[in-house]
Chain A
């Protein structure tokens, strides 16, 4: 499985290059890649449904327990099949849809990385690997939402999605690390046996909150839902793929995956149940006033995500079954409808549902796909959506507390979804034709295959649930719960209360559709206060952070080098001084001054030249005096038998003097600018640094040196590092990675210096 993922990333990286050469045909080539993944995983179908679990492990950082462990069971197989199937449809679709965009090759790079990461996410058994893929999906989503980066709204939405899911990601990471602290392992499958230990731990509530924060932000649960409708700025294939069928389900996958290990408690179930049902209801209401095809679909997706979360919160066997069926059904019909919305936009030039009407003659094939998907979404027999809705209702009927309240919420939400479906999937094709910006015509074949295939799958899995759903359902539920359900999926349950509810939902939905205008007018008078909108708080926090950053930059980085140095010195002094004097027994150390005549002479030279530096009235004199200080330091290094240091110091001093000479002409006339007051404060700061450093050195040399390192390096240098110069062997061999870091810093600093100098040149040009 690791190999497939590596192939995925490599193929994505190659996409822009292949696109340049093939352009027209690239859609077909691109689609073959998810199709290949689909087939490779589908070949394992028989093995998985017969109850096997495929595990694969490759070491990564074994000392930390972080490895590429992948696990293919019913749950992950279901997700992988959804991801790759819809991926195939979307990749093909985009070949035509994205034709007129700039950087289409780049688009395929991003979406390929996304698909591969998403597959990695659902396959990972190691929590850190899972987290890495989790973040990769967030980042590729960011790049895809902001794909039209010349539009400010795109950039803003992309950033919003990244900030919300990214902060959730941080919470998730903290939660996973806490979980590892409790269990001692990063492997999810190893958590199953110690469920009681985890639940009994003091850290358990924190784990639940943090993990759920990650899941809720990713799956856009209330109050983090606001980023999803804004993410509709992305090109439509992205919305279809990431923001309805796959990525937003990652949070729900996470809850399902961890349900077995850390679920089953009141805090877990209740939090999920409440968040899910609120999201389901509010999102359905918010969908009501939208007129944009994609926004309508986005809010209905939110509502479905809420329903799925709620079902996991209910957690009964029936609810898990409903969760599973609804998940599959939703991915199929919502993927289709998004693609249809894209087609309508592409072929008519508008996404406004009040303009789209009477297109049945012009887009007959698209209409077929749209109708199939719509019926599934409305829950009409015999499509899979019908089974989904039925099981949702019957699982709510099993809940002990607030049963009818939840049921009412669900029925109302679903009625609104029915209304959305009519607006998006049915109304554009019937009634009278209205003028659209582009004259409508049927979409090219690449944009027809995807929606048709997905819609047909929806029909088939409704008609033959035994073939398509039953077996995977059995295996998936083992991953979520502990035992097999033994519940069969049937299309027809006979005339009962649940069927009645389905009819009520439909009827209610249709009447809402007919009275939509009147209701909107009535609602216009009621306006919600901004304080209860989560997006308002998002804006507040974002702006607050920005103004704090501005303020802090103004104070700390005000452009005057001397203040930078003062801040750095004072911080070091404060922190290091505090640490130094907290070392126990530090005041009982005896300081021994044992000076030779050479040291004394050099010390006097240093003091004399320092005084010259600060009192001199000529810049050249000051530079030379400063050089003397440096060379004297070099001599001290020689006296203490550190020739390497001495050599480097002397070379550096020489170059520093040369540098000073080069800039000497450029500097303004030497003036005494400091006021007496600032001179005194400078003297205090400089003096305290000097005293502190002296004290530190004296204290360090007064104590016993207990380092084993010196001995080790002295002994190992020749046999292991093949060199007699210990300093150099440490630099280039024992501690080479430190040196590597340092030279990278140096290189960056050089680029910085260069940029600063060139910047000034440009200003002079003006």
Chain B
């Protein structure tokens, strides 16, 4: 069920959707969005690519093993929780950089935590989708 239109479209849609997912992640702190939904959108981008080009192509494109993405997400979240401990505050206290960064905005441990959620969700959904699609073979 190969479709040239979908395949070509997905090549252009994928980067757009990934940028959008990242945009959702970053704006989450002030406007609707956040790591969870960002991760879902990113996973949807890969899912679209998978439907258009097959699971092998999608896997190649993602490069990282989904299971490693899951682990990375958890690691980010846990590191963000312990940064405050190192600076002598209680566990999971938000620690923020003093200056704002261009584009990204305020940077602090909650953002790192959200990034962790983003990776984790991306990892989980791609893991499940890839495993299901692989079974078709």
Contacts and interface: CB of A to CB of B under 8 A. Distances in A.
Interface in A652-667: 652, 654-655, 658-659, 661-663, 665-666
A577 interface: no
A661 B51 CA distance: 10
Contact of A655 (B34, B43, B74, B106): B43
A650 to B, nearest CB: 9
A576 interface: no
A746 B124 contact: yes
Contact of A732 (B74, B91, B110, B124): B110
Contact of A739 (B28, B117, B123, B127): B117
A644 B34 contact: yes
A647 B31 contact: no
Contacts, number: 138
A578 interface: no
Nearest to A665: B136
Interface in A734-751: 736-737, 739-740, 743-744, 746-747, 749-751
A619 to B, nearest CB: 16
A736 B115 CA distance: 13
Nearest to A646: B32
Contacts of B113: 732-733, 736, 739-740
Interface string B20-48: 00001000111111111100110110011
A729 B110 contact: yes
A750 B34 CA distance: 21
B128 A753 contact: yes
A743 B94 contact: no
A643 B108 contact: no
- Chain B interface size, under 10 / 10 to 19 / 20 to 34 / 35 or more: 35 or more
Contacts of A722: 29, 94, 96, 106, 108, 110
Given A743-B120, A746-B124, A732 B133 contact: no
B132 interface: yes
Dominant secondary structure of chain A at its interface with chain B: helix
Nearest to B41: A651
Dominant secondary structure of chain B at its interface with chain A: helix
Contacts of A658: 44, 47-48, 51, 129
A753 B131 contact: yes
Nearest to A743: B120
Contacts of B124: 746-747, 749-750
B51 A725 contact: no
A723 interface: yes
Given A658-B129, A661-B51, A728 B34 contact: yes
B131 A736 contact: no
A214 B43 CA distance: 52
B78 interface: yes
Contacts of B133: 662
A721 interface: yes
22 contacts: A647-B24, A647-B32, A648-B40, A651-B37, A654-B44, A659-B129, A722-B110, A723-B30, A724-B29, A724-B30, A725-B28, A728-B34, A733-B113, A736-B110, A740-B77, A740-B81, A744-B74, A750-B70, A754-B127, A754-B131, A757-B131, A758-B131
Nearest 9 A-B pairs (CB), nearest first? A723-B29, A643-B32, A651-B40, A750-B124, A732-B110, A724-B30, A757-B131, A728-B34, A662-B132
Given A658-B47, A723-B30, A728-B33, 17 more contacts: A648-B40, A655-B47, A658-B129, A659-B132, A661-B51, A662-B133, A666-B135, A722-B110, A724-B31, A725-B28, A732-B28, A732-B114, A733-B113, A743-B77, A750-B124, A754-B67, A758-B131
